Amino acid sequence: MAETLGTLSDKLTIVKLKQWHTEDGARLASLARQQTQLQEEMDHFIAAAVAGDIPIEKLTFAANKVYKKEGNEVREISGSLGEIFSTLAEINCRLWHVQETVYDFEKIPVSEKDNVIKDLAVVNLERNNCIDELDRTFQSVIRSIHQPA
């Protein structure tokens, strides 16, 4: 997958979740290195985009998820870059907890299993929508910087 602001943001929020959920020193050190690397990569990506070193069309890499929309409604994602990033962080927190439930799938009552799988799918669709919207919004910001006034 091509790296974009959305994918880098997604990876960073996941690293932060992993840091929050562990106390293992070696793992925390590794995650701190990953965090620094992702932050630096984001800084370079943004600087390159602002400088015009990345073609506008390469600022997005849509997930293009194919799924049955009926019965799998997901919320619309919009707002400023900061608002969308915040929504992505919140969605990844939800996704983390749904995934934790899936790890103990055999303990889930049969009557609830379909709901757990459905929740996992819908939250993941929302996550991908956030990533795509971050990319589109960032692309729009960069486009406005490079268009003559």
CB neighbour list of residue 32: distance below 8 Å, 6 or more residues apart = 19
Tokens (6 digits) for 48: 């390159």
Domain that holds residue 91: 5-146
Tokens (6 digits) for 143: 């486009």
Spatial separation of the C-alpha atoms in residues 24 and 57, rounded to whole Å: 41
The model's pTM: 0.89
Q: How many domains does the chain have?
A: 1
pLDDT tens per residue, range 88-137: 999 999 999 999 998 989 999 999 999 999 999 999 999 999 999 999 99
CB neighbour list of residue 140: distance below 8 Å, 6 or more residues apart = none
Spatial separation of the C-alpha atoms in residues 126 and 43, rounded to whole Å: 25
For residue 70, CA distances in Å to 73, 74, 122 come to 7, 10, 12
pLDDT tens per residue, range 32-90: 999 999 999 999 999 999 999 999 999 998 777 776 677 778 888 999 999 999 999 99
Q: Cα–Cα–Cα angle for 96, 73, 125, nearest 5°? A: 40
